[in-house]
Amino acid sequence: MVVILNFSHPLTEPQKEQIQILAGQAIEEVKTVAVQINQGEPLEPQLAAIVDAVQLTSEEWQTRELLINPPGYASAAFVLLAMLHGRIGHFPSLIRMRPKHGPITTFEVAEILNLQNIREQARLKRQ
């Protein structure tokens, strides 16, 4: 079972169902952590506090199956990714959301991206 670390908007039930189908496993828990960035302050300590708010032990970071819904703010997402890589020991998998077409703006799960696999494939191009 997978634990979702949600650093974005709350996930709807249909989105959770999409995630379970794409991940091929049930969701054990969704931990939603608010991401509010103060543009007047350094980014790194703000993201460190956000990651600490997840409240996982060192062992849990390294052994739980984690799926990340990153924040939409690109700079925050990059710093978050670096911090998660440091705690997990590898790149996590990400949820990619996309807007659905229609008269009301809603979002659906587009795909799950296994960043570790993407990295390993990219390394083959270093030759």
Per-residue model confidence as pLDDT tens for the chain (127 residues): 999 999 999 999 999 999 999 999 999 999 999 999 999 999 999 999 999 999 999 999 999 999 999 999 999 999 999 999 999 999 999 999 999 988 999 999 999 999 999 999 999 998 7
What is the predicted pLDDT for the residue at 127?
77
What is the predicted pLDDT for the residue at 22?
96
What is the predicted pLDDT for the residue at 26?
97
pTM: 0.92
Range of the domain at 63: 2-126
Closest CA to 23 of 68, 71, 78: 68
For 120, the token pair is: 């390993």
Q: Number of structural domains, the chain?
A: 1
CA distance 67 to 50: 16
Q: What is the CATH number of the domain that holds 82?
A: 3.40.50
Q: Which secondary structure element, helix H or strand E, spans residue 28, and what is its range?
A: strand 27-32
What is the predicted pLDDT for the residue at 20?
97
Contacts made by residues 24-32, CB under 8 angstroms, sequence distance 24+: 25/1, 25/65, 26/1, 26/2, 27/1, 27/2, 27/3, 28/1, 28/2, 28/3, 29/3, 29/4, 30/3, 30/4, 30/6, 31/3, 31/4, 31/5, 31/6, 32/6
What is the predicted pLDDT for the residue at 110?
97
Contact 26, 1 (CB under 8 A): yes
